[in-house]
Amino acid sequence: MDTSHVIYRPAREDIGRSDYWVEVWRGLPNVHFESSETRDGRRGLMYSIPSKRGEPSGDYIWVVPDTAKALEQDPSSLLRVICRKQPSGALYAWDVTNYEGTEEEAIARAKKVTEGWKKEAEQTLQKEQAAIFRRSARKDNL
């Protein structure tokens, strides 16, 4: 997929063990989006490459209804894109919304949120490792 629309994408080390990160886009990638209805009847935009039997899942992008409308007016809108790690390495952008502000503000906010998720993932891992260590120590004392 063409990435010319991507203004900011964190480096792998900036994401760490987190499964989530935030990107900043100027408009959408040049792929075919389909109109898709939400549970409440509003229309958003969806791009999806379904997985084939036995193959990893493909790319997925969901543009929320309000942002889909705004993109009709200005296809080069500044967008905040929440992404989730996929085992296949495919793009899974499950929340694409407008960002009101400058590119610099959007990038700074994306970095801050991604850093918070990274720290949270690291703290969770440390707690899990400590719990495993405690269980192992209890077994050794039996």
**Nearest Cα to 64, choosing from 85, 80, 75?**
80
Q: How far from the centroid of its chain's Cα atoms is residue 101's Cα?
A: 20
What string of DSSP letters covers 13-39?
HHHTT-SEEEEEEES--SS--EEEE-T
- State pLDDT tens for residues 77-106: 999 999 999 888 889 999 999 999 999 999
Q: What is the pLDDT of residues 6-37, one digit of tens each?
A: 999 999 999 999 999 999 999 999 888 999 88
For the entire predicted model, the pTM comes to: 0.82
